[in-house]
Structure formats: structure tokens, C-alpha cells
Amino acid sequence: MMVNADEIGYLYAGHRWQWRPGIMRHGYELALGVFAQAGVEPNRLCAQAPGVSGRYGTFSATRRCLERADFDQARSFEIAHLVQGGYDPRYEWSLCWSMIRDQDLIAGVLSSESAGTKEIVAEAFRSWALRCRTQYGYCFHQQMRLGPVFHCLGIIFGMRPSSDLTMNTCWWTYKTPDGRRHMDSLLLRDIYPENYLSAPYLIVCLGKSQTTLKEWIEADPPNRGRLEPYTDILTKWVPPVEKIPQVREELYRAGRVFYWQFFCPPPEGGPPDIFYRPDLSAPWEAPDPIPEIYRADYWKDKDPGLTY
């Protein structure tokens, strides 16, 4: 039985960040600073780097190998504190920091930790986003038994049976046959309690209208939330949590929320697929009936602030 499986993890994810020499070492040093400020001792570390096994090991032993390696050749690393009595770092940590070059950063903390720890993690994420010129990010809340880190990475192993939700999770990190990454589109992956958007996301028009996402949000703050500066590139958008299902439905109908079937061309000679979007920049509005997971009433018995 997993120790903290039913606790809620708070995780920040940063996508579309600018890799350059020194960034991986900066992220590693920033992570060590987070653990030190939070008073949490890291006890598990894994990395993909020259001379490092890529497997979880005790922190001190793996640290020696990693710090002797060329950080600019490192593909990834993850630092975690495995909770007492736990056995699986994918789930049972109280604090973690993970970086995958050219893909994403994850910084996480459990709700059982102090508010001060959450603030430390949040500020470190902002510092990292500023340094790495991040284009898109979010903070989501999820039960640990669903593997919160997996959501960022697009992994569904051990989570739930196949469904539209699982397909959306795993397809986010896919590449199309022509090499494009889905996460590089200007689609919002979902609507989260905290969203961090660069200008291209905010100025894209909704559906077939001339209304931008920024204008749409600002037209109705009580129901759509407010925008505030976050870094020189990112704007923070915090929608009212109770309104997230309605916001999600409206923005899906306007073609601005990610859906895995947007990227599935019909078989050769087959009828056109109503969801397939070969050109995501072309104006598009969802045909009815929309997929169940985008209907506001689908979430009526669920916590609107959680990612499922």
C-alpha cells in the first residue's frame, strides 16, 4: 500500500523552454536550493548523463557521478525525497524536482507539506521559467495514486483504463509523422488552477471570431479569472476554480484546448474526421455533440480543481 497515494500533489510544469549551455546545471543547483530551503533531505536521485546509470540510487552516490558528468550532455535528472515507509519514487515523494532537456520541468510538493514549502517551490519555478524563457506552463493538483509526474510526461501506466482522458494524457508528448510535437502547438493542454501563457497563446483568436483569448478572459473576470504579469514572457492566468468546467467547455468549442483526435488523420480513402485538424492555425469551432470530457456537466460530481 502506498503511503501518500490519496494525498494531493501540487505540481508545476514548464513546457517549451529554451535549452542552452548551463541550463541543466542551473536547474540542478536551483533544485538543491529548494530542498535546502524547505528543510527536506533528498534521498533519491536519477539522471541520464554520461557516466550515470539512469536508475534511481541513493542521493549521495548518484550525486557524485552526476556532478562529475558534463551537465550540458545530461538528458534529464530527477531529485526526490522518498517518504518514510514508501517504496516507489514515482508516487511516494514529499518533494521532487525533475528536468528533461527540450521537453519539460516538473517541480512538485505534497499538500501535507507546509505552506512555506509550497511558496518556495512556486518561487523557484518562477525563477526557472524566467531563466529558461519558458513559453507555456501550469500548476495542477492531482491525487498521488494517479502518478502526478506521469501527467507531465504523458505516461498513463498504472493510472486508469483507456479513455479520452488517458489518450489526452499520453498524446500530449507525441510527435506527428512530420516531426511536430503536440505540445508545441498553441493549444492549452487543459484549464488548470494556474496557467502561464506567453503572448502567442494570448493573442490567438477563438473559433471563427476576431476575439483573442486575452480579450475573452478580460471581458468577464468573475467567470473567467484575471491576468497578471509573471515573467517578462509569461502572463499568469488564474480562473475561478469552480468555473473551470465552464471555461474548459467554452474554450474547447472555440478550438483552443488540446484534444488528441485533432492529430488523427482519417484512413486513406476514408471519410473526413470531424475532429481532425491538419492546420491548427485555421479557424475552427467544435461540431456538436462535443466529446463528453469537455462538457461542463461531465465534471459535476468531480472536484473542478483536480486533474484526473
Q: In a 3-state reduction of DSSP, which class is residue 119?
A: helix
C-alpha cell at 159: 493510472
Q: Per the domain annotation, does 304 fall within a domain? A: no
For the cut 60, the answer to whether the pLDDT of residue 158 exceeds it is no
pLDDT(160) > 80: no
| Domain shared by 233 and 261, yes or no | yes
Answer yes or no: is 187 within a domain: yes
21 and 125 together in one domain: yes
Which tens digit of pLDDT belongs to each residue from 208-231?
999 999 999 999 999 999 999 999
Same domain, 44 and 175: no
Does one domain contain both 12 and 147?
yes
Looking at 125, 153, 181, the residue that finishes a domain is: 153
pLDDT at 272 over 80: no
Q: Are both 199 and 127 inside the same structural domain?
A: no
**Domain membership flag for residue 176:** yes
Task: Average the pLDDT over each of 28-32, 188-192, 231-235, 266-270 and give the range with the smallest value.
Answer: 266-270
Say what the pLDDT of residue 22 is.
Answer: 94
- Count how many domains the chain has: 2
Q: Which residues contact 124 (CB under 8 A, 6 or more apart)?
A: 30, 31, 33, 34, 107
pLDDT in tens, 55-81: 887 889 899 999 998 999 999 999 999
The answer to whether residue 269 scores a pLDDT higher than 70 is yes
Mean pLDDT of 92-114: 90
> Is the residue at 1 inside a domain?
no
> Which run of H or E residues covers position 202?
helix 199-203
Q: State the residue range of the domain holding 124.
A: 8-153
- pLDDT in the model for residue 1: 63
Specify whether 181 is located in the same domain as 200.
Answer: yes
Query: pLDDT value at position 154?
Result: 83
Query: Which pLDDT belongs to residue 178?
Result: 64
pLDDT band at residue 4 using 50, 70 and 90 as cut-offs: confident
Final residue of a domain: which of 128, 153, 178?
153
Residue 159 is assigned to a structural domain of this protein: no
CA distance 102 to 16: 7
Of 89, 118, 153, which residue is a domain's last? 153
Considering the domain boundaries, does residue 240 fall inside one? yes
Q: Which region holds residue 179: left if phi is over 0, alpha if psi is between -120 and 50, else beta?
A: left
Q: Return the residue matching grid coordinates 489526452.
A: 168
Please tell me whether residues 95 and 131 are part of one structural domain: yes
pLDDT in tens, 116-152: 999 999 999 999 999 999 999 999 999 988 888 888 8
**Cα–Cα distance for residue pair 175/182, rounded to 1 Å:** 6
CATH code for the domain of 47? 3.60.90
CA 157 to chain CA centroid, Å, is 17
- pLDDT above 60 (res 253): yes
pLDDT in tens, 195-205: 999 999 999 99
| Same domain for 129 and 176 | no
Please indicate, yes or no, whether residues 205 and 275 belong to a single structural domain of this protein. Answer: yes
C-alpha cell at 136: 507555456
Residues 136 and 243 in one domain: no
CB atoms within 10 A of CB 194: 19
Question: Per the domain annotation, does 223 fall within a domain?
Answer: yes
Average pLDDT, the chain: 91
B/e letters for 168-187, b = 16+ CB within 10 Å, e = fewer, are bbbbbbeeeeeeeebbebbb
Is 146 part of a structural domain of the chain? Answer: yes
